[in-house]
C-alpha cells in the first residue's frame, strides 16, 4: 500500500471505528432488553405453574437424517446445521462451534503464506493491504444474523457478535476512477473436489458503493470475541447485514472496482433464484439487492399440562426485513384464519427475535403451522410461498 492510501485508511479507521462502537452499544441495549423481557414471564403466565411433558416432532425432521450441530462433509459439500429447536432467550448468540456452515474451508488454502487483500480494477494504482492492518483496527460491529440463501427448513441460520472494519473505510484509500460504480468482492474458493450441483470455481458478488455503505457492510475478523474459525472465513470475510449469506464472501482476498458493464459472476447467477432475482440477469447492474425479507418459523412445539389439562406452546423465531413489526400472525391449517401471535417483542432487525404462542388444538390430527406478517406494504416473498411452514401431529388434546 502506498503511504497516501495508508494514511487515508488509518484516519478513516479511527473515525468510523468510534461510530461503529457507539452504534453497537445502542443496538446491544435493545437486544439485552428484549432478552430480559422473555426470560422473566409476565405476571399470571399460566405456564409458570404448569409442567412441560414433551415436545412434538415436526414432519420435516424425519426427512433430514443428517446430524445437528456437528460439521460433516468437506469443501463445497461441508455443512453444519444448528439445532434451532434448542433456542432460548439466553442462547440467541450462536457459539462458533454451532454456527451454521454452508461451505467448509477450501483444502487448497495455504495459510503459511502472507494474506493480503488485493484492491485493483478501475483504480489509479492497485494496492495490497496486509490482513494484519485490518485485524489490528477491528472494532465491535454488533450482533448480526446470517441466513443461507437456500436455508428453508434446513435451518441454516445463526447469529453472532462480530468485530471488523467497515468496507467503506478500507475503500477510502483506493482512489477509484470516476467510472468505477461497482465493487466486486471475491474470496479464495479453490477446492480439490466440487459439489456435483455446483462445480464452478469462484465465490464473489458485485455491489454498488451505496449498497455497501447503506447496509453497513464490514470485513469481519472476529466472531464472538475470537478470530474467525477457518470454516467461517479465516482470516477475513465479508458480512453484509440484512443480505443472504451467499453475498457474505469468506476467505476474502480480492476487491475489484468495476463499472456498469460488469457481467454478473457465476456465483451470482447460481444464487439468482434463491435471492429472488428476475431470472438470471447477465449484467451485475440488473441484480436486485439480495435482501432477506422479514420471515418467521416455529422451532418447537411444547406439550404442557396446566391445571390438569393439555396445552401446547409454539416457540419460534422472527428475523429479516428492514422494519420491526407488531403484526406477526399465525394459523394452524389452511382453512383457518390467521390470528395475532401471542407474545413477542420485536425491537431489532439485525438478529432474530423469539416469539411464543399458546395453542389449544380442537382435536387430534395433523396441523400445518404457517406464519405471515399482516402488513400489506411489507415484502414477505418466502412466507407467501410457505417456505417456512411446518407440520406436526397432535395425539392428545386437553
Domain boundaries in the chain?
A: 3-32+67-286, 295-394
Quote the CA–CA distance of 299 and 317 in Å, as a whole number.
7
Report the predicted TM-score, pTM, of the whole model to 2 decimal places.
0.87
pLDDT tens profile 310-321 = 999 999 999 999
> pLDDT class for 153, splitting at 50, 70, 90?
low
- For a pLDDT cut of 70, what percent of the chain falls above it? 84
Rounded Cα–Cα distance for residues 346 and 355 (Å): 9
More confident residue, 23 or 390: 390
Identify whether the C-beta of residue 271 lies closer than 8 Å to the C-beta of residue 149: yes
The pLDDT of residue 68 is 79
Which CATH fold topology does 295-394 show? Immunoglobulin-like (2.60.40)
* Residue 21 in this model has a pLDDT that exceeds 80: no
The CATH number given to 3-32+67-286 is 3.90.420.10
Evaluate if residue 36 carries a pLDDT over 60.
Answer: no
Amino acid at each position: 500500500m502506498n503511504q497516501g492510501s495508508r494514511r487515508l485508511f488509518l484516519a478513516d479507521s479511527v473515525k468510523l471505528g468510534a461510530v461503529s462502537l457507539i452504534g453497537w452499544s445502542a443496538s446491544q441495549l435493545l437486544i439485552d432488553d428484549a432478552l430480559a423481557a422473555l426470560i422473566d414471564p409476565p405476571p399470571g403466565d399460566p405456564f409458570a405453574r404448569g409442567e412441560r411433558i414433551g415436545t412434538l416432532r415436526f414432519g420435516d425432521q424425519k426427512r433430514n437424517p443428517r446430524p445437528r450441530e456437528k460439521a460433516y462433509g468437506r469443501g463445497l459439500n461441508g455443512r453444519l446445521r444448528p439445532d434451532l429447536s434448542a433456542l432460548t432467550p439466553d442462547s440467541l448468540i450462536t457459539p462458533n462451534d454451532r454456527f451454521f456452515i454452508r461451505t467448509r474451508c477450501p483444502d487448497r488454502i495455504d495459510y503459511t503464506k502472507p494474506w493480503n487483500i488485493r484492491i485493483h480494477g478501475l483504480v489509479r494504482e492497485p494496492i495490497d493491504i496486509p490482513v494484519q492492518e485490518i485485524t489490528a483496527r477491528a472494532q465491535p460491529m454488533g450482533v448480526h444474523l446470517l441466513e443461507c440463501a437456500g436455508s428453508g427448513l434446513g435451518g441454516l441460520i445463526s447469529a453472532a457478535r462480530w468485530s471488523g472494519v467497515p468496507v467503506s473505510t478500507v475503500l477510502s484509500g483506493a482512489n477509484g476512477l470516476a467510472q468505477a460504480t461497482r465493487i466486486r468482492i471475491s474470496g479464495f474458493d479453490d477446492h480439490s473436489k466440487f459439489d456435483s450441483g455446483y462445480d464452478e470455481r469462484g465465490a464473489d458478488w458485485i455491489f454498488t458503493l451505496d449498497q455497501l455503505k447503506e447496509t453497513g457492510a464490514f470485513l469481519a475478523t472476529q466472531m464472538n470475541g475470537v478470530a474467525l474459525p477457518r470454516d467461517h472465513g479465516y482470516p477475513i470475510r465479508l458480512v453484509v447485514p440484512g443480505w443472504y449469506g451467499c453475498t457474505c464472501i469468506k476467505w476474502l482476498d480480492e476487491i475489484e472496482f468495476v463499472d456498469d458493464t460488469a457481467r454478473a459472476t457465476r456465483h451470482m447467477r447460481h444464487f439468482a433464484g434463491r435471492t429472488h432475482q428476475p431470472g438470471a440477469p447477465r449484467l451485475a447492474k440488473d441484480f436486485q439487492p439480495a435482501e432477506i425479507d422479514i420471515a418467521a418459523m416455529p422451532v418447537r412445539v411444547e406439550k404442557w399440562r396446566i391445571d390438569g389439562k393439555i396445552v401446547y406452546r409454539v416457540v419460534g423465531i422472527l428475523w429479516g426485513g428492514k422494519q420491526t413489526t407488531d403484526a406477526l400472525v399465525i394459523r394452524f391449517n389452511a382453512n383457518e384464519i390467521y390470528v395475532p401471535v401471542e407474545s413477542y417483542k420485536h425491537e431489532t432487525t439485525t438478529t432474530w427475535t423469539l416469539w411464543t404462542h399458546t395453542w389449544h388444538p380442537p382435536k387430534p390430527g395433523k396441523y400445518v403451522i404457517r406464519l405471515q406478517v399482516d402488513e400489506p406494504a411489507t415484502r414477505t416473498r418466502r412466507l407467501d410461498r410457505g417456505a417456512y411452514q411446518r407440520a406436526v401431529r397432535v395425539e392428545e388434546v386437553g
